[in-house]
Amino acid sequence: MKTYRDIAGDGGSDIAGQVVEQTRRLSVRLSSIQHAVAVMSGKGGVGKSAVSVNLAVALAAAGCRVGLLDADINGPSVAKMTGVHGQRPTILPEGVVPVSGPAGLKVMSMDLFLASDDSPVEWQGPSSEAYVWRQTMEMTAVREFLSDTLWGDLDYLVLDLPPGTDRLPNLSGLLPKLDGCVAVTLPSEISQFVVQKSIQAARTPGVRLLGLIENMSGYLCPGCQGLQPLFPSGRVEALAARQGIPYLGRIPFDPRFSEAMDRGCPVVLGKPDSPVSAAFISIAASLRNILAHRTSPPPSSHRGVSS
């Protein structure tokens, strides 16, 4: 069997030229975006995508120009959560026009290109190296979404990353511009045990840790509307302090929040007076302030692993 070292030239594919051209397009696309922010979790099931969607909508509702990229190629859910599921992006010679979502949000997701709801994303490659191949293809697909999408002028581009402690470092290696990342966790000890690994992995040159969001911090009592604990309180704030990053706020659990996402109606717009919406609006304001004044600590600080 021949390896790539045994092959002379590139077979006429001009791989180097393609990479250079894609890098140029990527730089052009991102030049009109003021801030690119990734949302990560490390562990699945913490509501990261729902947080990404409502955070992006809260920014858009505040008058900002916002794009939302579903970077979870294999498990896309942003299109359904934003109510654009079933739409198709317009493909032009110069690029792909993202679909228009709530509050003028520009949305791009792999789900918008799949034939049906149960269609999986299938990768073709060497079976003996399937894991490495899929990881490479996933990041390549994200890079193509970024370089081929006609985002236009944006104040914020929010990237909803798939679960995994290595996702942010992989993304930062592809992007010439990433203003920072936000981590999402539950108050549970297990969730924090995993997310702190993602936080440590994100401490790479050029990446700013913008803060930590606590999701499902408690549940709203249907009768009194008071917030009752689901987990011991104070854990996430303590984790943020140990890691030396801002604690952006807590989002209470409310069954109506989940129902709103299932319907494709972000709770920030559907129930703007709810405690959940108030939490997202406050977190979005804090994030805007951090990005505007660059008040978060540098990524080189607090590198020690905390438990």
Task: Name the CATH superfamily for 21-291.
Answer: P-loop containing nucleotide triphosphate hydrolases (3.40.50.300)
- Averaged pLDDT for residues 38-64: 93
Whole-angstrom Cα distance, residue 106 to residue 178? 18
β 247-253/209-220 pair status: parallel
Q: Which range scores top for mean pLDDT: 1-5, 143-147, 233-237, 242-246?
A: 242-246
Provide the CB-side half-sphere exposure for 209 (13 A, CA).
30
Taken in order 201, 207, 211, 217, is the CA torsion positive or negative? negative
Q: Are 283 and 55 in contact (CB under 8 A)?
A: yes
Whole-angstrom Cα distance, residue 97 to residue 99? 7
Which DSSP category does 125 fall into? S
Tell whether pTM > 0.75: yes
Query: DSSP H helical segments within 62-159, as ranges?
Result: 78-81, 130-148
Decide which of 176 and 250 is more confident. 250
| pLDDT of 253 strictly over 70 | yes
CA distances from 59 to 108, 154, 188, 265, 305 (A): 17, 11, 28, 15, 32
H or E, element range at 218? strand 209-220
Who's near 244: CB < 8 A, 6+ residues apart? Answer: 297, 301, 302
- Averaged pLDDT for residues 51-68: 97
Amino acid (1-letter code) at residue 4: Y
Q: Residue ranges per domain, the chain?
A: 21-291
pLDDT, tens digit (0-9, with 9 covering 90-100), for 72-99: 888 899 999 999 999 999 999 989 999 9
Whole-angstrom Cα distance, residue 279 to residue 272? 10
User: Looking at residue 2, what is its pLDDT?
Assistant: 45
Q: Are 185 and 46 in contact (CB under 8 A)?
A: yes
